[in-house]
Amino acid sequence: MKETLRFGRIAGIPIGAHWSILGMVLVLTGSLAWTTLPYLVPDQSTAAYWITGVLVAVVFVLSLLVHELAHALTALRFRVPVQRITLWMLGGVSVLDGDPETPRGAFLIAAAGPAASLGLGGLGLGGGLLLRAREHGLLEMSVLWLAVMNLALCVFNLLPGVPLDGGRVLRAVLWHRYGDPRKATAIASVAGQAVGVLVALAGVAELITKDPGGVWLLAVGYVIALAATTEGRQARQRPVSTPTD
């Protein structure tokens, strides 16, 4: 995923976004302003719903950046160069230049993103409960919505198939077991294809019930299956390393 805009650097890592991130912001803003916020916090002005929707959508994009930064900063700790972080319509991508030297490093790099999302979700839940005690309607529900979304992001990313973080964790575990990163990648890619198909089927089921959210699941499933297939093919084509004296 190539970036369209470059925002700068964090810890020396180039941060950018593909133009499609605007699609995510628009969809989230519309969903929040038209349905979610009016349902959760009725009797507010239209302007309040839309302003809150925009702010919440932007904060959610920033939470995606935190997720990717957790991957990237952990990779730097294990001396894996990070080419860039790019945000796009379906999330974020941290482009690493190679593998860590050990399965442990691969495991921690993969787990860092979900851990960051879990932490953000926990902080959001705590903040939402504090705000509830003070009866701040829109602010409270916005914080709780962000908390739930980050927890959902954590859970979804832990599905066991590449290119999801859970697939990277699975790959690290298999690498540790078999001592062969290429074999581990091949197995994790098959799992990723299965996960992609299941997510796409869930999208089809939602479309059958006339839920427009099925389009998003269908797109995500397709991207997961395609990326898993590509990664598996690259693993099979990669030459087997042989020990040297």
User: What positions carry a catalytic annotation?
Assistant: 68
Instruction: Please report, for residues 17, 77, 163, 185, 206, the alpha-carbon distance to residue 222 in angstroms, rounded to integers and kept in the order given.
Output: 21, 32, 12, 19, 15
DSSP string, the chain: ---SEEEEEETTEEEEE-TTHHHHHHHHHHHIIIIIHHHHS-S--HHHHHHHHHHHHHHHHHHHHHHHHHHHHHHHHTT--EEEEEEETTEEEEEESS--SSHHHHHHHHHHHHHHHHHHHHHHHHHHHHHHHHT-HHHHHHHHHHHHHHHHHHHHHTSSSTTSHHHHHHHHHHHHHHS-HHHHHHHHHHHHHHHHHHHHHHHHHHHHTT-THHHHHHHHHHHHHHHHHHHHHHHHHSPPP----
